[in-house]
Structure 1
Amino acid sequence: MASDLEGWHPSQIGLQRRFGFSDAVSDRWIHVAKRMPEQHRIFHTSNLRLIPITTVDENGRPWASILTGERGGIGFIESPDPITLSITAQLWDGDPFQDTASAWKKAELSTRGNADRFLTAGLGIEFSTRRRNKFAGQIMNICQPTKFSVRLDINVNQALGNCPKYINVYNLVPFPDARPVVSNQIENLWESERLPQNVIDFISIADTAFVGSLYLSEGSVGPKFSSHAGMNARSGLPGFMRVRPSDCRTIVLPDYSGNRFLSSLGNIEATGLAALTIPSFTTGDVLYMTGTAENLVGQDALKIMKGQSAVTLIKVTGFRFIENALPLRQQEDIHVERSPYSPKVKYLIEEYGTECNDYNAHKAELDSVIQLSDNLAVFRFKIHSNAGAKKLSIRPGQAIVLDFMNWIGPPQYQHMSNAKPSLLNDDRVRTWTVSSAHDLGNISWFELTMREVQGGTVTGALFDLLREANHAYGSNYRPERTVIAEIVGITGEFDISQTASNTLWVAGGIGITPFLSMLSALNMKAPPRKTITLALSTREPVVMVRLLHDLVSRLPPKIQIKIDIFTNIKGVNLNATDIGILNIHLHPGRITEEYWKLNAEKKDALICGPNGFADSAVEGLRAAGVMLEKIHREGFY
């Protein structure tokens, strides 16, 4: 279809260049059509329960309204021709479109339909299918029969299909009992004012937002690049948007890889304004915000949010928080399906508090490797610290977070990757439980007992070093290539000190790593008397015994340990000496209900392993009468 555009506007081009996208998208503006395709018209009129649209207030600020059909029904939108959308919607107190409707009544007939005040843009979005289409244009007519109903006609001059990549799947159904209440409302915040805590809390758990933007043509570029509004959705895992603690009013919105048009960000670049509206499909609450906005790219962004090379800062200048507003809710008993493309939540540098001064002050260099099998090895790293950096401390059972971006490099751009969505926004940051033990003072090295993840970017690169060397299993190998990672931090509360003297350790496969660290710690100092039962489920019993041998055989006499190995591997041939010295008992198959009953009584239990394994272990222990407060479960790294 032909486009009404004559190219990207100057601010959009400038931002595309900063991102390095300009060559790839220089002629892609032709995909923005000047009328709606038939499939868009059918979609808008037949599929939607809500439609977010951008409006402009009397001060020229954008707001993002949410229009819905009566009682949340479908069919409130009509499209009599390819350039017209007619919407009959219900309104509620606080929605910005009420102000737009009032302004239309007051406006002179000559200014209606052509003033920037009545620019608009919308997003047809169907959360159950992740389908969305954008449009932009001008409001041509508004009729408001009652305070809480409106009829508007929009002249559409831009239409574009949009990818579903980050949309979380909601199954929205009508909720006729909505009773909107304006909870907070400040149209113009003073410079020193902050958002209320309940509003900040609402933002901190949100997974969906609608972003409104404006481009206002000026000077010589005016005739070529006409003024227009923009509307789009931003989605991620709950908490993907952050509020800066330093002022409690600036929202940091990370930018994830998309179609590279940078339409919304380009508009923000031009006007320095943005609207942000956040709905809750659980409670029906809606938070409307408008403010000044700034895009940060590269090092400027990385100084704000760790590992995020592009962010938008929205400093809120006005907001409205309406409770129980939406006549729609997520269907009960159906879980929200998170987009597989969404990256992990990233935190602001200032959220690290006083420790942020030491962030990136330590690096880990790969020193040596002992390969145990095709996909299992012990990697030893030595630590390099900047002068004056805070000393690192790792308790037995804790994990370390490493950033391999500088070694591996950023991922190549891909718009979609259905085979492995996580590739698109892979920040090369990984977390592993440390398998070595250290004094709590300054440490100079650590070990990770690591299994290669099939298709894993970081573990694949590390194990490629071993494959290139073709080194013998069990011997020490020093890599020829330098491998350095930034130490992001130490995490985890899984600790041997959580337990009493009689303890059950439960490990699934590589979930044995925190227990290796704990065994090392028991060998370092005179420990208190402990009786330990280790229940280990594994497909590699021989390799696991090899890992355990030196640690267990050197334990002081006051530490009594029994090892129960469960495996489906037949014909396992363990060394008789190992069986005797390590007190090993071999069991066929999985850990049974009877085992929990016989071995869990009056014990604290520590569990580490894949989620399914850990879930099963918790269920077995609970069925055996172990109280929940006696069960400690580690996140599986």
Structure 2
Amino acid sequence: MSAESAHTTWHPGEETMHRLLRVVHGDNPTIPGLPVSYGAWMAESPLLALGTVDGHDRVWTTVLGGAAGVVRPVAAGVLGVRARSREPLMGFDPVLEALFAGQDLRDGGIARHPGGGKLVGGLAIDLETRSRVKISGRVLGGALAATDPRAGVQLAVAVEETLGNCPKYLNRKSIRSHDSSPTLVSDRLPLVPDAIDLIGRSDLFALSSRHGTVSMDTNVRGGAPGFVRILTNSEAEGVTLVYPEYSGNRLFQTLGNLQADPAVGVTFPDVETGAVLYLSGRADVVVGADAAALLPHSKLAVRVHVEAARFVRDGLPFRGTLLDPSPYNPPVHRLAHEIDGPPACSLGTTDPDGKPLAVATATLLRRSTITPTISRYTFRLGPETSTAPSRAAFAELKPWRAGQHVTLDFSAHLDRGWSHMRDHDPRSLNDDHIRSFTISSRPGGRSAVLDGAEFDITVREQGPVTAFLGRWRPGRSVDVAVLGFGDGDEIEFGTDPAGEDVVVVAAGVGITPLMAQARSASAAASGRRLKLFWSVRADDLPLAIDVLGALHEVAAVTDVFVTRTADAEPEPGIAELRELGARVHTRRIEPADVRSAGTAGRRRFHVCAPPGLTRSVLEWVGGEHVRCATFTY
């Protein structure tokens, strides 16, 4: 293959990815050499991610820079790289170490790479504008200044390929130079706690892969903090990371390289503290049903098996400050074993692309508007007849229990297919339109007939799925795929009068698990063994009236905390709540409220609230039995 054709055709690994994901491409858009316009832009870029291969055939990645000028054109098709370096390279930055291998770095050194140069991949990045340009080429030589930290490392890179990349998942940050003093914390596996913490906070990492000795690809992946998940981290199981591949330009150059050669270098830079985690290992691309089983809600993921690591404190020659997150970043996808309870689709039926198969159909029958943002929707269950597995699954489907959630797939109504950018609705690019809602109506019992059974969900309009429900009008036919019923917060109300007190702390629509257990809750309340603390916004008072009006016994043991209201001017509805028997406070829930409920040491707490209130309750009643409703399903 000629050098020119290598730039315009796809190599076998890329072709494999295109076939797996049913993508049809023309010529490769990678540009031979270094266009003048790209070179000029790169000269203004403050960061350069750089990847190469060390003497042990391991791929590594680093991130250099801190100010404009880290990379700039110095000759036709040649970039000069200048990076600050205050400390000896050996044992810190594995990429620079590999590029200067064999040199006596104590007295400065000049690295020469004969035979065409040493293969590298690079990515110039400007996080403030969310722009980036990829290069692949060869380091012709380099120099290391031993006495002048401002001169640092200098490299000459002959550029063979260039490609501009989209800004979709980069969180916008300002970057500034920093005089680092690196300290090697660990170069062993498994990862130390600080390294694990860094991954859990990271919203960006750089990775490098290779296509034999022809080219290298260095790029970044961005997302919400924590989008990279740690699958294993132990001596027995090794270290394995998993991350989702979001919808992109569908060239699959990195994944194509990994299909043909799994060697990968991954680096997590912490721009706030300067810590940096260098990893090298092997990666496999997980597609379709396998991806969904590993990382639910994902159709494409990468699993990285780490073979070598370096965690360096204060290793970055720059610092950064978050300006604003990318609007394209989807919520974090958690690993299957991180999701509480069994998966909603308990029968495990998926198609080859990883899309869960329906076990039933839910037909929307009624909508009741409770507040301007909260509505109750009633659905009727019926069999899903489109496939034989779905028909069989409905025959085996068990009735839901109080407190369980139902998982519904709205993709037939909302999925608009692939597009590269979607600035008017960025989050929809990676939205599978699958949602789980706690069932707020009482179950029919273990022997209930599901064909024709009705259930309610009480939800706040928030996001495209609930907005779609909010646009529904009577007479319009809407059938939604049901993927199954999953575990939720089933509150146990004992019958022994000498048993434990039950204290429920809820916020807003977090009351739904209790609504589904109305009969048991009322019985417990009549025995004065239940206490409910419920925080609601002033706008949501009609929800409190609706729920407590149907649960008279529960109202008598309920304290409602109304937020966003003025004490001197009570909101309409507060008097009605008091007439129902509830105590009403125009303030937030406080520690003394919760601690005074029931008998200490003989009570169980159930918390159905956002993370902030949940953490507070855990602190207030530390050491006692607390069960927290999860919304990670």
Give me the TM-score of the superposition, normalised by structure 2: 0.73
Residue 522 of structure 2 is matched in structure 1 by 523
List aligned pairs for 1:93-492, cutoff 5 A: 93-103=91-101, 112-114=114-116, 118-146=118-146, 149-185=152-188, 199-216=195-212, 227-245=214-232, 247-331=237-321, 337-351=324-338, 355=342, 359-360=346-347, 363=359, 365-366=361-362, 369-373=365-369, 376-380=375-379, 400=405, 402-404=407-409, 408=413, 410-436=415-441, 447-451=455-459, 453=461, 456-462=463-469, 466-467=472-473, 469=475, 482-487=479-484, 489-491=486-488
Whichever residue aligns with residue 150 of structure 1, its letter is V
Residue 352 of structure 2 is matched in structure 1 by none
Cα pair distance change 1:165/1:110, threshold 3 Å: closer
Q: Take 1:110 and 1:579, find their aligned partners in 2: how far apart are those partners? A: 81
The more displaced of 90-99 and 488-497 is: 488-497
Tell me by how many angstroms 1:139 deviates.
Answer: 1.0
| SS of 1:267 mapped into structure 2 | helix
Q: Take 2:306 and 2:590, find their aligned partners in 1: how far apart are those partners? A: 55
Q: Take 2:223 and 2:30, find their aligned partners in 1: how far apart are those partners? A: 26
Residue 89 of structure 1 is matched in structure 2 by 83
Residue 550 of structure 1 is matched in structure 2 by 550
- What is the aligned-residue RMSD (CA, Å)? 5.1
Q: Take 1:388 and 1:196, find their aligned partners in 2: how far apart are those partners? A: 49
Tell me by how many angstroms 1:320 deviates.
Answer: 2.2
Q: Take 2:502 and 2:283, find their aligned partners in 1: how far apart are those partners? A: 57
| SS of 1:13 mapped into structure 2 | helix
Cα pair distance change 1:110/1:285, threshold 3 Å: closer
| SS of 1:378 mapped into structure 2 | strand
8 Å CA contact 2:134–2:165 kept in 1: the answer is yes
Tell me by how many angstroms 1:426 deviates.
Answer: 0.3
Is structure 2 residue 67 aligned with structure 1 residue 77? no
Whichever residue aligns with residue 39 of structure 2, its letter is R
8 Å CA contact 1:63–1:96 kept in 2: the answer is yes
| SS of 2:97 mapped into structure 1 | helix
Give me the TM-score of the superposition, normalised by structure 1: 0.73
Tell me by how many angstroms 1:437 deviates.
Answer: 5.1
Cα pair distance change 1:89/1:551, threshold 3 Å: same
Match of 2:11 among 9, 12, 16: 9
Tell me by how many angstroms 1:269 deviates.
Answer: 1.8
Gaps of 5+ in 1: 187-193, 218-226, 471-479
8 Å CA contact 2:54–2:60 kept in 1: the answer is yes
Q: Take 1:352 and 1:504, find their aligned partners in 2: how far apart are those partners? A: 23
Cα pair distance change 1:176/1:437, threshold 3 Å: farther
8 Å CA contact 1:104–1:142 kept in 2: the answer is no
| SS of 2:465 mapped into structure 1 | helix
Cα pair distance change 1:173/1:442, threshold 3 Å: farther
8 Å CA contact 1:255–1:310 kept in 2: the answer is yes
Whichever residue aligns with residue 319 of structure 1, its letter is A
| SS of 1:449 mapped into structure 2 | strand
Cα pair distance change 1:161/1:627, threshold 3 Å: same
Q: Take 2:341 and 2:606, find their aligned partners in 1: how far apart are those partners? A: 31
Q: Take 1:102 and 1:53, find their aligned partners in 2: how far apart are those partners? A: 14
Cα pair distance change 1:481/1:446, threshold 3 Å: closer
Q: Percent identity?
A: 23
Q: Take 1:130 and 1:425, find their aligned partners in 2: how far apart are those partners? A: 19
- Alignment coverage as a number of residue pairs: 574
Q: Take 2:44 and 2:469, find their aligned partners in 1: how far apart are those partners? A: 51
Whichever residue aligns with residue 54 of structure 2, its letter is D
| SS of 1:176 mapped into structure 2 | coil
Q: Take 2:422 and 2:597, find their aligned partners in 1: how far apart are those partners? A: 47
| SS of 2:315 mapped into structure 1 | coil
8 Å CA contact 1:565–1:584 kept in 2: the answer is no
Residue 58 of structure 1 is matched in structure 2 by 55
Gaps of 5+ in 2: 350-358, 384-391, 495-499, 599-604
Tell me by how many angstroms 1:232 deviates.
Answer: 0.2
Tell me by how many angstroms 1:35 deviates.
Answer: 1.4
Deviations 1:293-332 (A, max 9, x none): 222222232232212111122222322222221132334x
Tell me by how many angstroms 1:97 deviates.
Answer: 2.6
Q: Take 1:492 and 1:635, find their aligned partners in 2: how far apart are those partners? A: 8
Q: Take 1:595 and 1:66, find their aligned partners in 2: how far apart are those partners? A: 47
Q: Take 2:166 and 2:270, find their aligned partners in 1: how far apart are those partners? A: 22
Cα pair distance change 1:395/1:360, threshold 3 Å: same
Q: Take 1:516 and 1:144, find their aligned partners in 2: how far apart are those partners? A: 69
Cα pair distance change 1:567/1:141, threshold 3 Å: closer
Q: Take 1:356 and 1:534, find their aligned partners in 2: how far apart are those partners? A: 29
Tell me by how many angstroms 1:523 deviates.
Answer: 2.4
